[in-house]
Structure 1
Amino acid sequence: AGFQLTQAKLADMTVELGKGMLLAIHLGRLKDEGKLDHRQVSLGKLNSTREAIKIARECRTILGAAGITLEYPLMRHANNLESVLTYEGTSEVHQLIIGQAVTGESAYR
């Protein structure tokens, strides 16, 4: 049962990684065509950062107690991802940009 659970986690992580790559490719093509909007960039950054952090956390659960040791570089990656969430415009700013695009109303001034 443990191996099946690990396979399920790996499958879910693979799906999210694939979706993120497809989104990045799509956004890159829009940029090449001169059609990329800043709201789309926020969507891509927010999604990619959130999913990368989720994947790092899930990897930690697969490794068990070893996931928090220096034996694997997992915690270094997780810490780097936490900083990306901040310096890429912070998730809250991206949420406000996307929320305004969805509702037409600005939540900030």
Structure 2
Amino acid sequence: MSKFRRRLNKEEGFTLVELLIVVAILGILIALAVPRMSGISDSARDRAIEANKRTLVSAATMWYAQNPGGSDTWTETSGGWGDFLQEYPTGPGGVSYQVEIKADGSITVTTS
């Protein structure tokens, strides 16, 4: 038991140099991780916008199926989408969408 106590008493903490090396390594790892994280959020934003566009195209396709040969333009405030969407999508960061349905059945969704 006395050998164990002597060993414990001889133990020392980390030196300042060792702690600085650990802090430097952590700083490098964080510097590498932050740009990747910002890319992930940009990618998620783009995917959310594309998903909203697909939702609007699906709703506009249903509208056109009930109104063949008709044309319409939808925005969040226009109200023409009420029977086909529970709620008009709003994109991340306040992106708004405009849907244009032409008489030939082509559908265009633009963002602003």
**Which TM bucket (shorter chain)?**
0.3 to 0.5
The structure with more helix, counted as a fraction of residues: 1
Q: Which has the larger radius of gyration?
A: 2
